[in-house]
Structure 1
Amino acid sequence: MTDSRNRILEHIRRSRAAVKDEVVDRRLSEHPRGPIPARGLLPSAERLALFTEQACSVEATVSRLATVRDIPEAVAEYLRERNLPATLRLAPDRALIELPWAEKASGLEVYSGRAEADDAVSLVPAYAGVAETGTLILHSGAERPTGLNFLPDTHIVTLEAKDIVGTYEEIWDRLRHLHDGRLPRTVNMITGPSRTADIEQTIQLGAHGPRRLHILVIGDPED
Protein backbone atom coordinates (compact mmCIF):
# COMPACT_ATOMS: atom_id res chain seq x y z
CA MET A 1 0.00 0.00 0.00
CA THR A 2 2.83 2.39 0.89
CA ASP A 3 4.72 1.65 -2.34
CA SER A 4 1.59 2.20 -4.43
CA ARG A 5 0.88 5.47 -2.67
CA ASN A 6 4.43 6.69 -3.22
CA ARG A 7 4.28 5.83 -6.93
CA ILE A 8 1.01 7.73 -7.32
CA LEU A 9 2.38 10.78 -5.52
CA GLU A 10 5.58 10.72 -7.55
CA HIS A 11 3.58 10.57 -10.76
CA ILE A 12 1.57 13.60 -9.60
CA ARG A 13 4.79 15.49 -8.78
CA ARG A 14 6.27 14.80 -12.21
CA SER A 15 3.05 15.83 -13.94
CA ARG A 16 2.88 19.01 -11.87
CA ALA A 17 6.47 19.90 -12.69
CA ALA A 18 5.70 19.65 -16.40
CA VAL A 19 3.25 22.55 -16.16
CA LYS A 20 4.58 26.05 -15.94
CA ASP A 21 3.75 27.55 -12.55
CA GLU A 22 3.01 30.96 -14.00
CA VAL A 23 0.34 29.55 -16.33
CA VAL A 24 -1.46 27.86 -13.45
CA ASP A 25 -1.17 30.88 -11.17
CA ARG A 26 -2.49 33.20 -13.87
CA ARG A 27 -5.51 31.01 -14.55
CA LEU A 28 -6.34 30.77 -10.85
CA SER A 29 -6.01 34.51 -10.31
CA GLU A 30 -7.89 35.68 -13.40
CA HIS A 31 -10.96 33.40 -13.06
CA PRO A 32 -11.56 33.08 -16.83
CA ARG A 33 -15.13 32.93 -18.11
CA GLY A 34 -16.74 30.37 -20.33
CA PRO A 35 -19.65 31.10 -22.68
CA ILE A 36 -22.57 32.77 -20.85
CA PRO A 37 -26.05 31.61 -21.99
CA ALA A 38 -28.51 34.31 -23.02
CA ARG A 39 -30.84 33.46 -20.15
CA GLY A 40 -28.05 34.35 -17.73
CA LEU A 41 -28.04 37.95 -19.02
CA LEU A 42 -31.65 38.92 -18.36
CA PRO A 43 -32.76 42.09 -16.54
CA SER A 44 -33.71 41.68 -12.88
CA ALA A 45 -37.49 41.19 -13.22
CA GLU A 46 -36.98 38.53 -15.88
CA ARG A 47 -34.29 36.86 -13.76
CA LEU A 48 -36.79 36.53 -10.93
CA ALA A 49 -39.40 35.04 -13.26
CA LEU A 50 -36.86 32.60 -14.72
CA PHE A 51 -35.61 31.58 -11.27
CA THR A 52 -39.17 30.84 -10.16
CA GLU A 53 -39.93 28.87 -13.32
CA GLN A 54 -36.75 26.81 -13.08
CA ALA A 55 -37.16 26.09 -9.36
CA CYS A 56 -40.76 24.97 -9.78
CA SER A 57 -39.78 22.74 -12.72
CA VAL A 58 -37.71 20.59 -10.32
CA GLU A 59 -40.48 20.20 -7.70
CA ALA A 60 -39.59 23.15 -5.45
CA THR A 61 -42.35 25.59 -4.46
CA VAL A 62 -41.96 29.36 -4.39
CA SER A 63 -43.85 32.11 -2.57
CA ARG A 64 -43.37 35.87 -2.79
CA LEU A 65 -43.28 38.01 0.37
CA ALA A 66 -43.19 41.79 0.70
CA THR A 67 -40.88 41.98 3.73
CA VAL A 68 -38.95 39.74 6.10
CA ARG A 69 -41.59 40.34 8.78
CA ASP A 70 -43.99 38.28 6.68
CA ILE A 71 -41.84 35.16 7.11
CA PRO A 72 -43.42 33.75 10.32
CA GLU A 73 -46.97 33.88 8.98
CA ALA A 74 -45.91 32.43 5.62
CA VAL A 75 -44.06 29.53 7.28
CA ALA A 76 -46.97 28.75 9.60
CA GLU A 77 -49.42 28.81 6.69
CA TYR A 78 -47.22 26.56 4.54
CA LEU A 79 -46.93 23.95 7.31
CA ARG A 80 -50.62 24.12 8.21
CA GLU A 81 -51.83 23.73 4.61
CA ARG A 82 -49.74 20.57 4.18
CA ASN A 83 -50.49 19.15 7.62
CA LEU A 84 -46.78 19.16 8.47
CA PRO A 85 -45.32 19.21 12.01
CA ALA A 86 -45.71 22.56 13.76
CA THR A 87 -42.09 22.63 14.86
CA LEU A 88 -39.32 24.63 13.23
CA ARG A 89 -35.55 24.69 13.55
CA LEU A 90 -34.13 28.09 12.61
CA ALA A 91 -30.62 28.78 11.50
CA PRO A 92 -29.04 30.72 14.41
CA ASP A 93 -29.21 33.92 12.41
CA ARG A 94 -30.27 36.97 14.41
CA ALA A 95 -32.38 38.31 11.56
CA LEU A 96 -34.51 35.14 11.70
CA ILE A 97 -34.54 34.68 15.47
CA GLU A 98 -35.77 38.22 16.11
CA LEU A 99 -38.80 37.93 13.83
CA PRO A 100 -42.26 38.12 15.53
CA TRP A 101 -42.82 34.36 15.74
CA ALA A 102 -45.07 34.42 18.81
CA GLU A 103 -47.20 37.20 17.33
CA LYS A 104 -47.59 35.93 13.76
CA ALA A 105 -47.08 32.17 14.09
CA SER A 106 -48.82 31.21 17.32
CA GLY A 107 -48.85 27.49 17.94
CA LEU A 108 -45.58 26.98 16.10
CA GLU A 109 -42.71 25.66 18.22
CA VAL A 110 -39.58 27.48 17.17
CA TYR A 111 -36.00 26.51 18.04
CA SER A 112 -32.66 27.68 16.71
CA GLY A 113 -29.26 26.08 16.34
CA ARG A 114 -27.72 23.13 14.56
CA ALA A 115 -29.91 20.40 13.09
CA GLU A 116 -30.96 17.57 15.38
CA ALA A 117 -31.84 14.06 14.25
CA ASP A 118 -35.56 14.53 14.93
CA ASP A 119 -35.96 17.96 13.32
CA ALA A 120 -38.77 17.85 10.76
CA VAL A 121 -38.59 21.38 9.33
CA SER A 122 -35.73 23.85 8.92
CA LEU A 123 -35.62 27.51 7.95
CA VAL A 124 -32.39 28.98 6.61
CA PRO A 125 -31.37 32.08 4.65
CA ALA A 126 -29.87 31.64 1.20
CA TYR A 127 -26.83 33.62 0.17
CA ALA A 128 -28.12 33.97 -3.38
CA GLY A 129 -30.06 32.32 -6.20
CA VAL A 130 -29.05 31.52 -9.78
CA ALA A 131 -31.75 32.25 -12.33
CA GLU A 132 -30.50 30.08 -15.19
CA THR A 133 -31.11 26.86 -13.21
CA GLY A 134 -33.34 27.87 -10.27
CA THR A 135 -30.51 27.01 -7.89
CA LEU A 136 -30.07 28.21 -4.31
CA ILE A 137 -26.59 29.07 -3.04
CA LEU A 138 -26.00 28.48 0.68
CA HIS A 139 -22.62 28.76 2.37
CA SER A 140 -21.51 27.50 5.75
CA GLY A 141 -20.80 29.68 8.76
CA ALA A 142 -21.57 30.08 12.45
CA GLU A 143 -25.07 31.37 11.63
CA ARG A 144 -25.67 28.87 8.83
CA PRO A 145 -25.03 25.28 9.97
CA THR A 146 -24.88 23.10 6.86
CA GLY A 147 -26.82 20.23 8.45
CA LEU A 148 -30.00 22.31 8.34
CA ASN A 149 -29.90 22.04 4.54
CA PHE A 150 -29.97 18.24 4.51
CA LEU A 151 -31.31 16.59 7.68
CA PRO A 152 -34.91 17.86 8.08
CA ASP A 153 -37.55 16.40 5.78
CA THR A 154 -38.87 19.86 4.90
CA HIS A 155 -36.42 22.60 3.93
CA ILE A 156 -37.66 26.21 3.84
CA VAL A 157 -35.27 28.84 2.50
CA THR A 158 -35.52 32.63 2.49
CA LEU A 159 -34.07 34.46 -0.50
CA GLU A 160 -33.91 38.20 -1.13
CA ALA A 161 -35.12 38.93 -4.67
CA LYS A 162 -32.21 41.35 -5.14
CA ASP A 163 -29.79 38.45 -4.58
CA ILE A 164 -30.97 36.47 -7.61
CA VAL A 165 -28.21 36.64 -10.21
CA GLY A 166 -28.01 35.34 -13.74
CA THR A 167 -25.01 33.00 -13.63
CA TYR A 168 -22.76 30.93 -11.40
CA GLU A 169 -19.77 33.10 -12.33
CA GLU A 170 -21.40 36.04 -10.55
CA ILE A 171 -21.82 33.92 -7.41
CA TRP A 172 -18.11 33.08 -7.20
CA ASP A 173 -17.20 36.73 -7.74
CA ARG A 174 -19.48 37.78 -4.89
CA LEU A 175 -18.20 35.11 -2.55
CA ARG A 176 -14.56 36.02 -3.20
CA HIS A 177 -15.34 39.69 -2.61
CA LEU A 178 -17.21 38.92 0.62
CA HIS A 179 -14.32 36.92 2.04
CA ASP A 180 -11.36 38.96 0.73
CA GLY A 181 -10.53 36.51 -2.02
CA ARG A 182 -11.10 33.36 0.01
CA LEU A 183 -14.10 31.06 -0.22
CA PRO A 184 -16.25 29.72 2.63
CA ARG A 185 -15.47 26.22 3.89
CA THR A 186 -18.62 24.85 2.25
CA VAL A 187 -20.77 26.18 -0.59
CA ASN A 188 -23.94 24.19 -1.27
CA MET A 189 -25.79 24.50 -4.57
CA ILE A 190 -29.33 23.21 -4.13
CA THR A 191 -31.69 22.75 -7.06
CA GLY A 192 -35.02 21.34 -5.93
CA PRO A 193 -35.61 18.73 -3.21
CA SER A 194 -33.42 15.65 -2.91
CA ARG A 195 -34.13 13.01 -5.53
CA THR A 196 -32.87 9.80 -7.08
CA ALA A 197 -33.84 7.50 -9.92
CA ASP A 198 -31.49 4.66 -8.97
CA ILE A 199 -34.36 2.19 -8.51
CA GLU A 200 -35.99 1.26 -11.82
CA GLN A 201 -35.37 4.80 -13.14
CA THR A 202 -38.33 6.06 -11.09
CA ILE A 203 -37.89 9.47 -9.45
CA GLN A 204 -38.08 9.29 -5.65
CA LEU A 205 -38.00 12.51 -3.63
CA GLY A 206 -36.24 12.74 -0.28
CA ALA A 207 -33.74 9.98 -0.99
CA HIS A 208 -30.64 11.71 0.38
CA GLY A 209 -32.08 14.85 1.96
CA PRO A 210 -35.29 16.90 2.21
CA ARG A 211 -38.30 15.70 0.25
CA ARG A 212 -39.74 19.25 0.18
CA LEU A 213 -38.07 22.55 -0.71
CA HIS A 214 -40.05 25.75 -0.25
CA ILE A 215 -38.48 29.09 -1.21
CA LEU A 216 -39.67 32.39 0.24
CA VAL A 217 -38.60 35.16 -2.14
CA ILE A 218 -38.60 38.49 -0.30
CA GLY A 219 -38.99 41.94 -1.75
CA ASP A 220 -38.47 43.08 -5.31
CA PRO A 221 -35.46 42.63 -7.59
CA GLU A 222 -33.04 45.48 -8.19
CA ASP A 223 -31.06 46.34 -11.31
Structure 2
Amino acid sequence: MSAREEIFASIRRSLNVGPVDAPRRDAVAARLAHAPVGIVPRRGHGEAAERLATFKSEAERVQATIAEAAAAADVPAEIARYLRENNLPATLRFGDDQRLADMPWAATALEIARGPSEGDDLNAVSAAFAAVAETGTLALLSGSDNPTTLNFLPDNHFVVVFAADVVADVESVFARLKAAYGPGALPRTVNFITGPSRSADIEQTLLLGAHGPRRLHIVVVGAG
Protein backbone atom coordinates (compact mmCIF):
# COMPACT_ATOMS: atom_id res chain seq x y z
CA MET A 1 0.00 0.00 0.00
CA SER A 2 1.35 3.41 -0.98
CA ALA A 3 1.59 6.35 1.43
CA ARG A 4 -1.35 7.98 -0.36
CA GLU A 5 -3.51 4.89 0.06
CA GLU A 6 -2.55 4.62 3.73
CA ILE A 7 -3.62 8.22 4.35
CA PHE A 8 -6.98 7.70 2.67
CA ALA A 9 -7.50 4.42 4.51
CA SER A 10 -6.83 6.18 7.81
CA ILE A 11 -9.35 8.89 6.97
CA ARG A 12 -11.99 6.30 6.04
CA ARG A 13 -11.45 4.43 9.32
CA SER A 14 -11.88 7.62 11.32
CA LEU A 15 -15.13 8.35 9.44
CA ASN A 16 -16.27 4.74 9.64
CA VAL A 17 -16.81 4.50 5.87
CA GLY A 18 -15.58 2.14 3.20
CA PRO A 19 -13.71 2.88 -0.04
CA VAL A 20 -17.01 2.70 -1.98
CA ASP A 21 -19.77 4.48 -0.09
CA ALA A 22 -22.72 4.86 -2.46
CA PRO A 23 -25.14 6.46 0.02
CA ARG A 24 -22.67 9.24 0.89
CA ARG A 25 -21.94 9.88 -2.79
CA ASP A 26 -25.66 10.01 -3.55
CA ALA A 27 -26.21 12.44 -0.68
CA VAL A 28 -23.51 14.77 -2.01
CA ALA A 29 -24.89 14.58 -5.55
CA ALA A 30 -28.41 15.34 -4.31
CA ARG A 31 -27.19 18.30 -2.26
CA LEU A 32 -25.35 19.76 -5.25
CA ALA A 33 -28.31 19.20 -7.57
CA HIS A 34 -30.78 20.89 -5.22
CA ALA A 35 -28.63 23.60 -3.66
CA PRO A 36 -30.73 26.60 -2.62
CA VAL A 37 -30.43 29.77 -4.67
CA GLY A 38 -29.24 32.80 -2.74
CA ILE A 39 -30.59 36.32 -2.97
CA VAL A 40 -29.70 37.90 -6.34
CA PRO A 41 -30.01 41.70 -6.76
CA ARG A 42 -32.30 42.81 -9.57
CA ARG A 43 -30.00 45.59 -10.79
CA GLY A 44 -28.62 43.64 -13.72
CA HIS A 45 -31.88 42.06 -14.80
CA GLY A 46 -34.24 43.19 -17.53
CA GLU A 47 -34.41 42.87 -21.30
CA ALA A 48 -31.23 42.54 -23.36
CA ALA A 49 -30.99 46.27 -24.10
CA GLU A 50 -31.42 47.13 -20.43
CA ARG A 51 -28.78 44.60 -19.35
CA LEU A 52 -26.34 46.00 -21.91
CA ALA A 53 -26.95 49.58 -20.78
CA THR A 54 -26.31 48.59 -17.15
CA PHE A 55 -23.15 46.71 -18.10
CA LYS A 56 -21.76 49.69 -20.03
CA SER A 57 -22.57 52.10 -17.21
CA GLU A 58 -20.94 49.89 -14.55
CA ALA A 59 -17.86 49.17 -16.69
CA GLU A 60 -17.29 52.87 -17.34
CA ARG A 61 -17.76 53.61 -13.64
CA VAL A 62 -14.65 51.50 -12.90
CA GLN A 63 -12.53 53.26 -15.57
CA ALA A 64 -12.99 50.82 -18.45
CA THR A 65 -13.75 52.30 -21.86
CA ILE A 66 -16.48 50.96 -24.13
CA ALA A 67 -17.00 50.87 -27.88
CA GLU A 68 -19.66 49.15 -29.94
CA ALA A 69 -19.18 47.22 -33.17
CA ALA A 70 -22.09 46.29 -35.37
CA ALA A 71 -20.38 43.05 -36.41
CA ALA A 72 -17.30 41.03 -35.53
CA ALA A 73 -15.65 42.20 -38.75
CA ASP A 74 -15.61 45.75 -37.36
CA VAL A 75 -13.51 44.85 -34.28
CA PRO A 76 -10.01 45.15 -35.85
CA ALA A 77 -10.74 48.66 -37.13
CA GLU A 78 -12.00 49.72 -33.69
CA ILE A 79 -8.90 48.40 -31.91
CA ALA A 80 -6.64 50.03 -34.52
CA ARG A 81 -8.50 53.32 -33.97
CA TYR A 82 -8.03 53.13 -30.19
CA LEU A 83 -4.32 52.41 -30.50
CA ARG A 84 -3.81 55.20 -33.01
CA GLU A 85 -5.75 57.83 -31.06
CA ASN A 86 -3.91 56.96 -27.84
CA ASN A 87 -0.50 57.04 -29.56
CA LEU A 88 0.14 53.37 -28.79
CA PRO A 89 2.19 50.88 -30.86
CA ALA A 90 0.30 49.12 -33.67
CA THR A 91 0.92 45.66 -32.21
CA LEU A 92 -1.53 43.11 -30.85
CA ARG A 93 -1.39 39.58 -29.46
CA PHE A 94 -4.19 37.04 -29.07
CA GLY A 95 -4.64 33.31 -28.57
CA ASP A 96 -6.29 30.55 -30.59
CA ASP A 97 -9.90 31.73 -30.23
CA GLN A 98 -11.45 31.13 -33.64
CA ARG A 99 -13.80 34.11 -33.27
CA LEU A 100 -10.77 36.40 -33.11
CA ALA A 101 -8.85 34.54 -35.81
CA ASP A 102 -11.73 34.99 -38.27
CA MET A 103 -11.70 38.79 -37.92
CA PRO A 104 -10.10 40.79 -40.79
CA TRP A 105 -6.89 41.86 -39.06
CA ALA A 106 -5.09 42.04 -42.41
CA ALA A 107 -7.26 45.02 -43.31
CA THR A 108 -5.46 47.03 -40.62
CA ALA A 109 -1.81 48.02 -40.16
CA LEU A 110 -1.60 46.08 -36.90
CA GLU A 111 1.29 43.69 -36.35
CA ILE A 112 -0.37 40.49 -35.07
CA ALA A 113 1.25 37.90 -32.78
CA ARG A 114 -0.36 34.69 -31.55
CA GLY A 115 -0.16 32.67 -28.35
CA PRO A 116 0.55 33.40 -24.65
CA SER A 117 2.46 36.50 -23.63
CA GLU A 118 6.01 36.31 -22.32
CA GLY A 119 5.63 39.69 -20.64
CA ASP A 120 6.94 41.90 -23.43
CA ASP A 121 3.61 42.67 -25.15
CA LEU A 122 2.05 46.10 -24.74
CA ASN A 123 -1.31 45.20 -26.29
CA ALA A 124 -3.47 42.07 -26.23
CA VAL A 125 -7.04 41.13 -27.07
CA SER A 126 -9.20 38.41 -25.54
CA ALA A 127 -12.72 37.17 -26.21
CA ALA A 128 -14.93 37.03 -23.14
CA PHE A 129 -17.06 34.04 -22.25
CA ALA A 130 -19.65 36.37 -20.73
CA ALA A 131 -20.14 39.80 -19.19
CA VAL A 132 -22.01 40.66 -15.97
CA ALA A 133 -24.39 43.61 -16.20
CA GLU A 134 -24.72 44.02 -12.43
CA THR A 135 -21.06 44.94 -11.89
CA GLY A 136 -19.60 45.68 -15.34
CA THR A 137 -17.49 42.54 -15.02
CA LEU A 138 -15.97 40.35 -17.74
CA ALA A 139 -15.68 36.57 -17.39
CA LEU A 140 -12.71 35.06 -19.24
CA LEU A 141 -11.79 31.37 -19.33
CA SER A 142 -8.25 30.05 -19.19
CA GLY A 143 -6.88 27.94 -22.02
CA SER A 144 -5.11 28.24 -25.34
CA ASP A 145 -8.06 30.10 -26.89
CA ASN A 146 -7.57 33.04 -24.53
CA PRO A 147 -4.35 32.59 -22.51
CA THR A 148 -4.54 33.96 -18.98
CA THR A 149 -1.22 35.76 -19.46
CA LEU A 150 -2.99 38.12 -21.86
CA ASN A 151 -5.29 39.20 -19.03
CA PHE A 152 -2.47 40.36 -16.77
CA LEU A 153 0.85 41.04 -18.52
CA PRO A 154 0.19 43.59 -21.31
CA ASP A 155 -0.32 47.26 -20.46
CA ASN A 156 -3.42 47.55 -22.64
CA HIS A 157 -6.07 44.84 -22.67
CA PHE A 158 -8.83 44.74 -25.25
CA VAL A 159 -11.76 42.43 -24.60
CA VAL A 160 -14.37 41.49 -27.18
CA VAL A 161 -17.75 40.53 -25.77
CA PHE A 162 -20.78 39.65 -27.83
CA ALA A 163 -23.98 41.44 -26.77
CA ALA A 164 -25.80 38.11 -26.52
CA ASP A 165 -23.33 37.05 -23.81
CA VAL A 166 -24.13 39.93 -21.45
CA VAL A 167 -25.95 38.30 -18.52
CA ALA A 168 -27.55 39.73 -15.42
CA ASP A 169 -25.30 38.43 -12.63
CA VAL A 170 -22.39 36.19 -11.67
CA GLU A 171 -24.78 33.33 -10.90
CA SER A 172 -25.86 33.37 -14.55
CA VAL A 173 -22.22 33.04 -15.64
CA PHE A 174 -21.81 29.84 -13.64
CA ALA A 175 -25.10 28.49 -14.98
CA ARG A 176 -23.78 29.08 -18.50
CA LEU A 177 -20.50 27.39 -17.65
CA LYS A 178 -22.26 24.28 -16.40
CA ALA A 179 -24.46 24.17 -19.48
CA ALA A 180 -21.53 24.65 -21.85
CA TYR A 181 -19.02 22.28 -20.26
CA GLY A 182 -20.97 19.80 -18.16
CA PRO A 183 -19.88 18.26 -14.85
CA GLY A 184 -16.19 17.59 -14.34
CA ALA A 185 -15.08 19.45 -17.47
CA LEU A 186 -14.92 23.09 -16.42
CA PRO A 187 -11.89 25.19 -17.45
CA ARG A 188 -9.10 25.35 -14.91
CA THR A 189 -9.59 29.06 -14.20
CA VAL A 190 -12.37 31.59 -14.60
CA ASN A 191 -11.02 35.14 -14.37
CA PHE A 192 -13.49 37.86 -13.42
CA ILE A 193 -12.18 41.25 -14.52
CA THR A 194 -13.78 44.51 -13.43
CA GLY A 195 -12.01 47.51 -14.91
CA PRO A 196 -8.26 47.96 -15.32
CA SER A 197 -5.89 46.77 -12.59
CA ARG A 198 -5.75 49.11 -9.62
CA SER A 199 -4.40 49.46 -6.10
CA ALA A 200 -4.65 52.05 -3.34
CA ASP A 201 -2.37 50.24 -0.90
CA ILE A 202 0.16 53.07 -0.71
CA GLU A 203 -1.17 56.14 1.12
CA GLN A 204 -4.67 55.38 -0.21
CA THR A 205 -3.71 56.80 -3.61
CA LEU A 206 -5.40 55.00 -6.49
CA LEU A 207 -2.88 53.67 -9.01
CA LEU A 208 -4.01 52.07 -12.27
CA GLY A 209 -1.94 49.22 -13.70
CA ALA A 210 -0.55 48.12 -10.35
CA HIS A 211 -0.92 44.39 -10.93
CA GLY A 212 -2.01 44.18 -14.55
CA PRO A 213 -3.25 46.28 -17.49
CA ARG A 214 -3.54 50.03 -16.93
CA ARG A 215 -6.15 50.27 -19.70
CA LEU A 216 -9.16 48.06 -20.39
CA HIS A 217 -11.06 48.72 -23.61
CA ILE A 218 -14.19 46.65 -24.18
CA VAL A 219 -15.65 46.17 -27.64
CA VAL A 220 -19.28 45.03 -27.56
CA VAL A 221 -20.27 43.23 -30.77
CA GLY A 222 -23.83 43.20 -32.04
CA ALA A 223 -25.22 45.73 -29.58
CA GLY A 224 -27.62 47.04 -32.22
TM-score range, shorter chain: 0.7 to 0.9
For 1:142, the equivalent position in structure 2 comes to 144
User: Percent identity, aligned pairs only?
Assistant: 50
Match of 1:127 among 126, 129, 145: 129
For 1:77, the equivalent position in structure 2 comes to 81
Please give the TM-score of this superposition, normalised by the length of structure 1. 0.86
Match of 1:189 among 188, 192, 195: 192
For 1:216, the equivalent position in structure 2 comes to 219
8 Å CA contact 1:33–1:169 kept in 2: the answer is no
Distance 1:220 1:202 in 2: 35
* Structure 2 residue 206 is the aligned partner of structure 1 residue 203: yes
1:24, CA displacement in angstroms?
4.7
Higher deviation after alignment, 181-190 or 55-64: 181-190
Match of 1:48 among 35, 42, 52: 52
1:116, CA displacement in angstroms?
2.0
1:26, CA displacement in angstroms?
3.3
One-letter code aligned to 2:150: L
Superposed CA deviations along residues 30-66 of structure 1, whole A, max 9, x for unmatched, are: 3431112121321111100000000000000000100
The SS at the match of 1:38 is: coil
Q: Which runs of 5+ in 1 are unaligned?
A: 1-5, 15-19
One-letter code aligned to 1:29: A
Structure 1 ranges of 4+ moved more than 6 A:
none
Higher deviation after alignment, 176-185 or 91-100: 91-100
Distance 2:35 2:58 in 1: 27
Distance 1:31 1:85 in 2: 49
For 1:67, the equivalent position in structure 2 comes to 71
Higher deviation after alignment, 90-99 or 66-75: 90-99
Q: Which runs of 5+ in 2 are unaligned?
A: 1-6, 16-22
8 Å CA contact 1:91–1:122 kept in 2: the answer is no
1:83, CA displacement in angstroms?
0.7
The total of aligned residue pairs comes to 205
Distance 2:125 2:35 in 1: 33
One-letter code aligned to 1:210: P
For 1:89, the equivalent position in structure 2 comes to 93
